[in-house]
Amino acid sequence: QVQLVESGGGLVQAGDSLRLSCAASGRTDNNVVMGWFRQAPGKEREFVAAISSGGIIRYVDSVKGRFTIFRDNAKNTVYLQMNSLKPEDTAVYYCAVRRGSGYSYSSSAYDYWGQGTQVTVSS
């Protein structure tokens, strides 16, 4: 089992920045894809970004140029730096881990999930 704990959410104004962190513990190894999803009220969970063990990165189009994902394998931690936040970024953000190196944008392909952290962006 792998446990994921997110932190760093909060209430900010449009244009502000936040950094989310997700620390993995338990039966961890570096051969995983670590990703971030988000879910706004009344909407389906949406892929945001992911990074493979080899450093290959994918983003959803709506966050490209504003969000940056990076990981520290020594700390089993993945981060999401969010700049130029917009009200439409408001959601609960979830960290997820997919074993192996294969990418997926589908939430069903991920094996472990954090509890989520709320990000609220006011206009």
Mean pLDDT, the chain, rounded, equals: 94
Q: Max alpha carbon distance in the chain (Å)?
A: 41
Query: Which residues make Cβ contacts (< 8 Å) with residue 31, sequence separation at least 6?
Result: 53, 99, 100, 101
- DSSP lists the bridge partners of residue 50 as 35, 58
pLDDT per position as a tens digit, 47-66: 999 999 888 999 999 999 99
The whole-number pLDDT of residue 26 equals 87
**Complete edge-to-edge strand list for the sheet that includes strand 67-72:** 2-7, 18-26, 77-82, 67-72
The whole-number pLDDT of residue 42 equals 94
